[in-house]
Chains A and B, each alone.
Chain A
Amino acid sequence: DAKTTQPPSMDCAEGRAANLPCNHSTISGNEYVYWYRQIHSQGPQYIIHGLKNNETNEMASLIITEDRKSSTLILPHATLRDTAVYYCIVSPASNFGNEKLTFGTGTRLTIIP
């Protein structure tokens, strides 16, 4: 699996956009970028994923650079409930490949009132 690099922690003011970066410089052409978050004492929760186009859903937006070596998760209007650890992971697309998703240590995002 390609490895990802994320800053260990970030702060963001409530109501502002939170931009969480992720580097995945060794990503392969068929690997997707996934984002999950883990709120204290809960299991991780899926947020969004993408291959090469930017994606948006009700939770967040995902911006992937043209060379796919990095991406940014955007929470447009952060609330206190968005305080969590955010994981960026990559996974191969092949149905016959390694299916395990490797989680790093993520970014601990703290929303400041």
Chain B
Amino acid sequence: GAGVSQSPSNKVTEKGKDVELRCDPISGHTALYWYRQSLGQGLEFLIYFQGNSAPDKSGLPSDRFSAERTGGSVSTLTIQRTQQEDSAVYLCASRRQQGTNEKLFFGSGTQLSVL
């Protein structure tokens, strides 16, 4: 696709339910990132995938959060037993290759609301 695509754009769920958020990166981009942005706050790093390397999970806030990237392309962020503090915009970004000269392209995010 032309850009990073995230779905759904909005998700409302009840406390305790599991949710899955999807990210389709730009074709050919080997690096994929997930960030979380709470209302009025900056971006909080969650997890980073690069090719076939083990992901950097250092930003995941608890073991309720997990992510996978299948076939080096689509990624799914799963939040189990959601809590109200999980409410935020979840942003996905990709870039063409490892290395800092390549800029990040962000999706428009998924607005998650936990009631």
Chain A residues packing against B (C-beta within 8 Å): 31-32, 34, 36, 41-46, 49, 87, 91-93, 95, 98-106
Contacts and interface: CB of A to CB of B under 8 A. Distances in A.
A43 B103 CA distance: 13
B21 to A, nearest CB: 14
Chain A CB within 10 A, most for which of B101, B104, B108: B104
A43 B100 contact: no
Contacts of B99: 93, 95
B59 A100 contact: yes
B42 A103 contact: yes
Contact of A43 (B48, B50, B106): B106
Interface string B93-113: 100001111011111110000
Contact of B41 (A32, A92, A101, A105): A105
9 contacts: A43-B4, A44-B104, A46-B105, A87-B43, A93-B100, A100-B45, A101-B33, A101-B45, A104-B42
B79 interface: no
